[in-house]
Chains A and B, each alone.
Chain A
Amino acid sequence: MTFQIKLALRYLRGRKLRTTLTLFAVVFGVMIIVGFNGVLPAMKQVIQGNMAAAVEQVDLTVSSETRGSFDAALADTVRQTPGVALVAPSLVRPLITPSSQAIPAKDGTAVSSFIVRGVEPESAGQVLSVSLADGRFLQPGDTGVLLISNKLAQDTGLGVGDTLYLPAASGLMEFTVVGVTLGRPPLGSEELFMSLADAQAIYNLPGQINTIEAQFAPGSDAATVRQAVLDQLGSGYQLGGAEAGSEFATALEAAGFVFNMFGVVAVALGGFIIFITFRTIVVERRRDIGMLRAIGAGRRTILALVLTESVLLGVIGTVLGMVMGVLLASGILVGLRPIMETLLHASVGNPSFAPYVFVLAVVMGLGVTFLAGLFPALAAMRVSPLEALRPSLAEVERRRAGRSAIVGVVLVVVSFLTLLTGNVGLATLGIVLFMAGLALIGPALIYPIAGVFGGLLRLIFAREGQIAQGNLTRQPGRATVTASAITIGLALLVALGGLIASLLGGMNGWIEKTLGSDYLFIPQSLVLGGGNIGAGPQLAEAVRSTPGIGAVTTLRQTTAKVDETDLQLIGLDPVTYPQVAGLIVSDGDEATLYDALGNGRSLIVNGIFAAQNGVKRGDTLVLQTPEGPQTYQVVGVGGDFLNYKLATGYISQANMAADFNETADLLVLADQTVGADTAQVMADLQAIAREYPAFTFYSSSEWLVEIGKTLQSFNAMYVLLVILAVPSLIALINTLAINVLERTREIGTLRAVGATRRQVGRMITAESLLLAATGTVFGLLAGVWLSYILVGAMNMIGMIFSFSFSYVGIVLAVAVGLGFGVIGAMIPARQAAKMDIIRALAYE
């Protein structure tokens, strides 16, 4: 084994450029996996630490499992539990102010995100340990006063005696600062202490709380008391607070999933590069391998030799990748630290790596390189000892439409049939069959493809094009493998590009249907549950009463729990909602759906929830509500634009009021009557909006411009495409470079008989373009198909939009594919042109 490692290391060192390019592919993938998995735990630690810090100050914190509000009388139930000494009920909710009410900070930014903590002054003062930097705490009977955090005071210059205006369900409420607190670390938002009654007024939740904190009597067994409290309260309650931060945790989980997938794809591409490299290495070293066999090496020895080299590459690449990953994580956190400090008031520590991250990196890095090297190693095993005795001529394959090509045709035909079934699962299998079929047919197709593109190529490369075309057709197997580097890379780019384009097109459809009213009153956050202050019925009434306004509808929001799954609920008015807007329905008859919603306890679920939980129309679900568990019937599957990515259900507003005590309107949509004076209507509605600063008023056209800016953020996904393109480009450069090396003597001969350096360079470029053209054809086909499958998969989970692929996209894909060919040829072409003739002729 020592000899094999020594030989492998020597070979790797002997071809530094190739080794570097191949290594980079593995390093890149492992770096992504390790790097991002080091950042996410550090971020999670911040959130969880923050949440823990909030609850560590008391012996017990209880909230609803649904994170919703419940009757304040339940605090008495807790108070009466043996072992509980002191109880502090509170209403703790996020609040986002409109920009007009945001508090200017000294550094030029503005603070608009808060956590409102409505408490009973007496009990809170006993249970919570609130230190003061200035002023006083709340007193019984206080109203219209609040305490701010020391950080807010320092950042904004606010102090005791200053006035704050906060949006409320009734419009705007005025508060006077009476105190400044110390050391209260809610994540991302500034904490505001106020009376419970004031908080209930802001959110239109009279008599409601959502958190009970308690201190135990000395000597009590904490676990026993906690359990006793939960037993007293019954089902639907949990230990722990309804703190902000959990949505961050969810977002981080999703981000972690995306980055891991990205890392896995990058490592897989790295494996593909290694496969190409070693396939060519085996060809390049046929004589060495033949010699070793001739002097007595067994087949297994040859297998071990090649595998050792690929595994060694994997080991080095994985180790380097892990080191780079740690550096990447550190670098990202260094960059994030000031942002976290400023925006989230959190200090982020160093990267944190769970053991499984390194295990995953090792398994992926080594596993992929082992597998990638295995097939070439098996081919090397079959090299005959006679190879050592044959003169070194370029291998000429005589590929005909043999058995493998016929099998390939069958696979491609079967794959097309899976498309016709319309079943996404089968179509996914189809893409695998298609790619496998392409790989088998490829060598047979090279000749006609090279003929077609070769003719075009000769228009640019008059002399070199013919030689390039001949090189390809003489080596159809190798050409297919090289072209496959572009095929796979381009297929990924085209697939993702098609998905993004289809998604953006679909989004516009969703917006038009679900938010397409003439006028909209939009809350501060498009995530309806994200700290928005709703309005009481007065806002919708005012809009309804405006001359020129026809149908008006509103949306409300709360959360429920189904088994252990959170479910956001949107409250709709079954009568007015379909008059102004509508859901995108994937299961159910939209004509009768809203009537069904208005009957009994009925529920429409969105595609995300349905797909994740295997729920379909006709099922019944038990929802955990503040009023106890309630059974709802699923009458359809559908969704709206604002909630397409969250597990969401839609119930009637009547049920939301009865079961969840939620009556605040978070969104108001209105249509103008035909013939109304638009300018007057707008002026009237703008006047109403001024009374409700928690909402922003838009006309339909203004709203489309505004939401267009949000959709533009999807363009960031195209950056992902560019990053994914890098490994493909490396694969192409690598393979072309190896091709040049392999044909050193041939190139030397060309130079000896009179080809100029420029001609040799152009020949390599021409060949690369031919390969790129071949890869582009295959890649485009595979990519469009894959894009169709991805759209189908999105449809399956309820995000309904049509597959679309623009001609511009096709032209762009072709340009990218051919561009790859030109860029990929630059280094190898220069290599070939620089070759010394004598050394090249003597090359073995």
Chain B
Amino acid sequence: MSIVKTEQLTKVYGEGATAVTALNHLNLDIQPGEFVAVMGPSGCGKSTLLHLVGGLDQPTSGRVTLDGQDLSGMKDDDLARMRRRRVGLVFQFFNLIPVLTAVENVALPLILDGTKQSEAEQRAESWLTRIGLSDRMAHRPDQLSGGQQQRVAIARALVAEPPLLLADEPTGNLDSRAADEIAVLLRQISEEWQRTVLMVTHDPRIAAHAGRIVFLKDGLVVDETRLSSNGRHEEQQVRQKLEVMS
């Protein structure tokens, strides 16, 4: 069964002459455990797709089914609960709370879900260790590098053990070395820890780490590639496809 399924998904911003169709009857199926990168020119609807899949926004028409649950018509509180338990979100600008330590930031989704603080922090520490930040647990965001902050954000996204991780330009604010590390980590999340990862990116080098790349243009899927036999997309191929689309 798909973990994410969109059917005729449409999102229109504005009205009348100024209306902009971000997604145009888009159909997409993502299987559990896949690492999918969504690419496309600016304004193609990739971020909008992420917002709708994560229940952050409502479609104009069409449907999103997440892990068998139809998101349309869900109440705000139910969507919030869904985001706590079923979806992990990673943002371009990390979005860590500046006054909390790394452990406290990671523990947030569990605390919001009612887990006791001590247990939440224990699980947070475990995840921070898994992603290699055991020596940074008590640091605040302003004491961490960009790459470290994004790792903390990824740990926060995973601490509640969600089946799906949504990443919106996770490397957009990082240098190339840190970006590569994050891309490798996302792949590890998918392959080793059996999570589905849906990532929006404009960087072909990062997208090449994904098992499947979906190309959007004008709100529609126009192309797709899957892993080649050597287990990697060729970055050059990805670039070429992007150039063709633009």
Given A296-B109, A296-B113, A389-B168, is A288 in contact with B85 using a C-beta cutoff of 8 Å? no
- Per-position contact with B for A386-416: 1 when CB-CB < 8 Å, else 0? 1011011000000000000000000000000
Report chain A residues within 8 Å CB of B156: 295
- Per-position contact with B for A577-595: 1 when CB-CB < 8 Å, else 0? 0000000000000000000
- Per-position contact with B for A351-394: 1 when CB-CB < 8 Å, else 0? 00000000000000000000000000000000011101101100
CA distance A295 to B88 in the complex (A): 7
Within 8 A of A (CB), among B66-122: 76-77, 80-85, 88-89, 91-93, 95, 97-100, 104, 108-109, 111-113, 117
- Per-position contact with B for A1-19: 1 when CB-CB < 8 Å, else 0? 0110011001101100000
CA distance A756 to B88 in the complex (A): 44
Report chain B residues within 8 Å CB of A386: 51, 56-57
A389 to B51, Cβ gap below 8 A?
A: yes
Asked if A844 is at the interface of the complex by the 8 Å CB criterion, the answer is: yes
B84 to A296, Cβ gap below 8 A?
A: yes
Given A3-B117, A298-B77, A298-B80, is A388 in contact with B91 using a C-beta cutoff of 8 Å? yes
Report chain A residues within 8 Å CB of B83: 294-296, 385
Give, as a whole number of angstroms, the nearest-CB distance from B112 to chain A: 5
Within 8 A of A (CB), among B193-214: none
A296 to B99, Cβ gap below 8 A?
A: no
Asked if B47 is at the interface of the complex by the 8 Å CB criterion, the answer is: yes
B93 to A844, Cβ gap below 8 A?
A: yes
Given A296-B85, A389-B47, is A291 in contact with B95 using a C-beta cutoff of 8 Å? yes
A14 to B98, Cβ gap below 8 A?
A: yes
Asked if A350 is at the interface of the complex by the 8 Å CB criterion, the answer is: no
A295 to B99, Cβ gap below 8 A?
A: no
Asked if A297 is at the interface of the complex by the 8 Å CB criterion, the answer is: yes
Which residue, of A6, A13, A292, A295, has the highest number of chain B Cβ atoms within 10 A?
Answer: A295
Give, as a whole number of angstroms, the nearest-CB distance from A431 to chain B: 40
Given A298-B77, A299-B76, is A388 in contact with B100 using a C-beta cutoff of 8 Å? no
Tally of chain A residues near chain B (CB < 8 A): 29
Give, as a whole number of angstroms, the nearest-CB distance from A765 to chain B: 29
A11 to B99, Cβ gap below 8 A?
A: yes
CA distance A291 to B57 in the complex (A): 14
B84 to A295, Cβ gap below 8 A?
A: yes
Asked if B219 is at the interface of the complex by the 8 Å CB criterion, the answer is: no
Asked if B163 is at the interface of the complex by the 8 Å CB criterion, the answer is: no
Given A386-B57, A389-B56, is A295 in contact with B51 using a C-beta cutoff of 8 Å? no
Asked if A745 is at the interface of the complex by the 8 Å CB criterion, the answer is: no
A287 touches which of B54, B95, B100 (Cβ 8 Å): B95
Asked if A293 is at the interface of the complex by the 8 Å CB criterion, the answer is: yes
B99 to A13, Cβ gap below 8 A?
A: yes
Within 8 A of A (CB), among B15-70: 47, 51, 54, 56-57
A-B contacts at CB below 8 angstroms, number = 79
CA distance A293 to B95 in the complex (A): 12
Tally of chain B residues near chain A (CB < 8 A): 33
Asked if A301 is at the interface of the complex by the 8 Å CB criterion, the answer is: yes
B97 to A7, Cβ gap below 8 A?
A: yes
CA distance A7 to B95 in the complex (A): 15
Least CB separation from B57: chain A residue: A386
B91 to A3, Cβ gap below 8 A?
A: no
Within 8 A of B (CB), among A413-436: none
Report chain A residues within 8 Å CB of B91: 291, 294, 388-389
Least CB separation from B104: chain A residue: A6
Report chain B residues within 8 Å CB of A296: 80-85, 109, 112-113
CA distance A389 to B83 in the complex (A): 15
Given A2-B117, A7-B99, is A385 in contact with B84 using a C-beta cutoff of 8 Å? no
Least CB separation from B51: chain A residue: A386
CA distance A639 to B92 in the complex (A): 76
Given A2-B117, A388-B95, is A10 in contact with B100 using a C-beta cutoff of 8 Å? yes
Given A295-B156, A296-B83, A299-B76, is A14 in contact with B56 using a C-beta cutoff of 8 Å? no
A–B pairs, 13, beta carbons within 8 Å: A3-B117, A13-B99, A288-B97, A294-B83, A294-B95, A295-B108, A295-B109, A295-B156, A295-B157, A299-B80, A388-B91, A389-B92, A389-B168
A292 to B112, Cβ gap below 8 A?
A: yes
Which residue, of B51, B85, B99, B100, has the highest number of chain A Cβ atoms within 10 A?
Answer: B99
Given A3-B117, A844-B93, is A295 in contact with B112 using a C-beta cutoff of 8 Å? yes
Report chain B residues within 8 Å CB of A294: 54, 56, 83, 89, 91, 95
CA distance A388 to B104 in the complex (A): 19
Least CB separation from A4: chain B residue: B111
A293 to B99, Cβ gap below 8 A?
A: no
Give, as a whole number of angstroms, the nearest-CB distance from B198 to chain A: 14
Which residue, of A13, A297, A384, has the highest number of chain B Cβ atoms within 10 A?
Answer: A297
Report chain A residues within 8 Å CB of B89: 294-295, 388
Give, as a whole number of angstroms, the nearest-CB distance from A167 to chain B: 74
A392 to B93, Cβ gap below 8 A?
A: yes
A14 to B99, Cβ gap below 8 A?
A: yes
Give, as a whole number of angstroms, the nearest-CB distance from B36 to chain A: 18
A7 to B51, Cβ gap below 8 A?
A: no
CA distance A386 to B47 in the complex (A): 11
- Per-position contact with B for A224-258: 1 when CB-CB < 8 Å, else 0? 00000000000000000000000000000000000
Give, as a whole number of angstroms, the nearest-CB distance from B95 to chain A: 4
Within 8 A of A (CB), among B141-188: 156-157, 168
Which residue, of B54, B76, B93, B117, has the highest number of chain A Cβ atoms within 10 A?
Answer: B93
17 more CB-based (< 8 A) A-B contacts, given A3-B117, A294-B95, A388-B91: A7-B97, A10-B99, A291-B97, A294-B89, A295-B83, A295-B84, A295-B157, A296-B109, A296-B112, A297-B112, A298-B81, A299-B77, A299-B80, A385-B56, A385-B83, A389-B168, A844-B98
Report chain B residues within 8 Å CB of A844: 93, 98
Given A11-B99, A297-B80, is A292 in contact with B56 using a C-beta cutoff of 8 Å? no
Least CB separation from B81: chain A residue: A296
Report chain A residues within 8 Å CB of B88: 295
CA distance A786 to B47 in the complex (A): 54
CA distance A259 to B117 in the complex (A): 46
Report chain A residues within 8 Å CB of B92: 389
Report chain A residues within 8 Å CB of B84: 295-296
CA distance A290 to B168 in the complex (A): 14
Please list the 4 inter-chain residue pairs (A to B) with the smallest Cβ-Cβ separation, ordered nearest first: A296-B84, A10-B99, A291-B95, A296-B83
Least CB separation from B88: chain A residue: A295
Which residue, of A10, A11, A293, A389, has the highest number of chain B Cβ atoms within 10 A?
Answer: A389
Within 8 A of B (CB), among A266-304: 287-288, 290-299, 301
CA distance A13 to B113 in the complex (A): 26
CA distance A13 to B99 in the complex (A): 9
Give, as a whole number of angstroms, the nearest-CB distance from A86 to chain B: 78
Give, as a whole number of angstroms, the nearest-CB distance from A7 to chain B: 7
Given A7-B99, A297-B80, A386-B57, is A292 in contact with B93 using a C-beta cutoff of 8 Å? no
Within 8 A of B (CB), among A293-349: 293-299, 301
Least CB separation from B116: chain A residue: A2
B100 touches which of A7, A295, A299, A391 (Cβ 8 Å): A7
Least CB separation from A295: chain B residue: B109
CA distance A455 to B100 in the complex (A): 46
Report chain A residues within 8 Å CB of B82: 296
Within 8 A of B (CB), among A638-691: none
CA distance A779 to B111 in the complex (A): 46
CA distance A3 to B93 in the complex (A): 24
Give, as a whole number of angstroms, the nearest-CB distance from A613 to chain B: 58
Give, as a whole number of angstroms, the nearest-CB distance from A13 to chain B: 7
Report chain B residues within 8 Å CB of A14: 98-99
Give, as a whole number of angstroms, the nearest-CB distance from A297 to chain B: 5
Given A293-B80, A299-B76, A844-B93, is A3 in contact with B111 using a C-beta cutoff of 8 Å? yes
Report chain A residues within 8 Å CB of B111: 3
Report chain A residues within 8 Å CB of B47: 389
Give, as a whole number of angstroms, the nearest-CB distance from A294 to chain B: 5
CA distance A13 to B157 in the complex (A): 27
Give, as a whole number of angstroms, the nearest-CB distance from A751 to chain B: 20
